[in-house]
Amino acid sequence: MNAPDGPVLIAFDGSAAAREAVAAAARLLKPRRTIVVTVWDAGLAYATAGSPPDVGMTPTVDPATVLNVDRALQEQAERVSSEGADLARSLDLEAEPLAVVDAGGVAQTILDLARDHRAAAIVVGSRGLSGLRARLEGSTSKAVSKRASCPVIVVHEFEAGEDSGDRG
């Protein structure tokens, strides 16, 4: 259940669509406390170490390598989240960064955070993927908007050359 006075959760991955989402949140929702969240994937070193062809065993992955990869991914997520919070603050939002490990999919992690923080709303960017790419990569914005217990604002990436209307 959302709280009307709760923070706004802004999903931020550093993309142009995510930057548009921060800008839209600032235009529409300030003043409001915001949490700029970046989700990162722990154990990626294990996931990317596939089996060689015609071998039934998964190759051994050095645990130190996994820890180093995870540490680097976490640090990158923290940098991205901080960058998003800096952008939000430059647009007069009261923003704090938050980097979290993926706990069952990016959309589910965002939904869990929104619930845990009693978010008033969630803001997500959408890159407008379609066709096979959308099927393979999935749509975080679509999954969040379908299952959220609070309002969701989906902000589409603005492409250069489009009529900007009143985008500011």
Q: What is the pLDDT of residues 46-99, one digit of tens each?
A: 665 554 555 555 556 777 887 888 899 999 999 999 999 999 999 999 999 999
Beta bridge partners of 33: 94
Q: Is the pLDDT of residue 7 over 50?
A: yes
Q: Where are the beta strands (DSSP E) in the chain?
A: 8-11, 33-40, 94-101, 121-126, 152-156
What is the set of domains in the chain, with CATH numbers? 1-5+8-47+78-90+103-160 (3.40.50.620)
31: cis peptide before it, omega within 30°? yes
Q: Is the pLDDT of residue 165 over 90?
A: no
8-state DSSP, 126: E
Q: Determine if the pTM surpasses 0.75.
A: yes
